[in-house]
A and B are shown apart, each in its own frame.
Chain A
């Protein structure tokens, strides 16, 4: 991990309704997020993961403990603007995040509000749309785009602020498989170009792409590690009401009956490799493999 860009120190947070019992959402969270890291935060509904995400750019402020973003305390009102510019957020529903009637105007909204000169705004809009591969749709009205495209416009709008960290709070939850794949590809690219990515997700196929996974339950971190380390704990994940990817569950089952089979596999390519290696085919390869139909 590079030097920590975000440091969360023993943060507690409660939601208080009028007259109602306060609800403890975060219960002593400590976490350091390195520059350039790709982190996934998973947990069941109500585990505190969205509350944690909203602490990362000061949308919510800790009840106790503190959050430092590039050294800035999110509770410091004088730094609030800088904090929000350093950490950009993309939410679940694209329709709630788009404000303008033309794609490029939507992306320009943030930089315009920074009061930047118009050639700088132009440069940022072009660059941001290019990074999410939407330059060809720059003049379209956003409401006529697909879900995956809308969500990429929302990401471009955040990128135009030149943040160092991109936080995606279940940003693929409402998308169809195609839209989800588009957003995943965009996120992969941004990370490879150096953006720090924090992704809150229910989709374990997405979580396995992260370098580190943090599992929340009851407002606490209960498990943390590489995808391989985390998905090894299938029983614990089930107790926490979480899934493992289908191939990981399959590997676990096979390895129980056959100890030389890997107990943890994360994606279909890796699983196919493991099975081929241990099958008769690898010992005696047919001259001409039949053409598969899918």
Chain B
């Protein structure tokens, strides 16, 4: 299947040609298939936010290629708005970026800017709000500043969904949410993919949530792709991940300890259900 996003050998230097220049990307690769959920992990400063900002053309490639649905982002003649409509980017702490007094107006900002008529704006706002679990009638006239942090974050995501993108890119969507807020947000992401066929790219430091949600994982280190593959393939490389300043889920670490003690614990355990089955087998063998 052709990728909806293809990144090849991408380089990016901030403040190029000045004494403060800093290389953020040094040959990163990334792919997203349609309807795929991919996680990008890497420690702070690894270049993952810089990579993510290329996916909707906020940054243009200095070297290497970025293609979105076949559009070449290095092409100076490209109408970048085409890319922005295909790929919606939600920044870290998007709740700090709400600016309209009411929820409905905030979500409507994008479709209004696109020039949609009143009825179309209303339809899009309603659908986007329902998609993130905010009832349209209950929330459209609520003041944004009176919402909880988790609700504000969902409003921000709805604002991007109202542009009806094919791919949603979320930079640390669950940072500082409580466990339940995190579960709800992950549920929303999964529903968006299952019901609307939206592809999802999310950046995360939480290895348990990467294990639960992602189909493919991309590990960025020192500005390039250090590892990629299915979640099992990546978490199997626990030692390498530790070298890169990353962790693995607790149950994956537990299986490693059991193998060190001479037990036949499987190497592909990343979720609680898998761990339960594995431990049960060990105890009864």
Please give, as numbers and ranges, the residues of chain A lying within 8 Å of B260 by CB-CB distance.
289, 292
The answer on a CB contact under 8 Å between B245 and A202 is no
Expressed in whole angstroms, the Cα–Cα distance for A175 and B176 within the complex equals 10
Given contacts A254-B276, A280-B285, A294-B238, contact A44 B261 (CB under 8 A): no
| Nearest chain B CB to A95 CB, angstrom units | 12
B95-106 vs A, Cβ < 8 Å mask (1 yes, 0 no): 000000000000
The answer on a CB contact under 8 Å between B263 and A281 is yes
Residue B63 interfacial (CB < 8 Å): no
Residue B205 interfacial (CB < 8 Å): yes
Chain B at the A interface: mostly helix, strand, loop or mixed? helix
Residue A279 interfacial (CB < 8 Å): yes
The answer on a CB contact under 8 Å between A279 and B178 is no
Residue A173 interfacial (CB < 8 Å): yes
Binds A, one of B24-32, B123-131, B155-163, B251-259: B251-259
| Nearest chain B CB to A111 CB, angstrom units | 29
The answer on a CB contact under 8 Å between B208 and A246 is yes
Residue A243 interfacial (CB < 8 Å): yes
Expressed in whole angstroms, the Cα–Cα distance for A278 and B251 within the complex equals 18
Binds B, one of A55-63, A102-110, A269-277: A269-277
A selection of 11 A-B contacts at a CB cut-off of 8 Å is A17-B146, A44-B181, A45-B181, A173-B176, A174-B175, A175-B205, A176-B44, A178-B43, A241-B178, A243-B179, A290-B262
Q: Which residues of A pack against B, CB within 8 Å?
A: 17, 20, 43-46, 92, 146-148, 170, 173-179, 202, 205, 241-243, 245-247, 249-250, 253-254, 257-258, 261, 268-269, 271-272, 275-276, 278-281, 285-286, 289-290, 292-294
Q: Which 10 A-B pairs have the closest CB atoms?
A: A241-B180, A289-B262, A292-B259, A178-B245, A294-B238, A243-B179, A272-B257, A246-B250, A44-B178, A292-B260
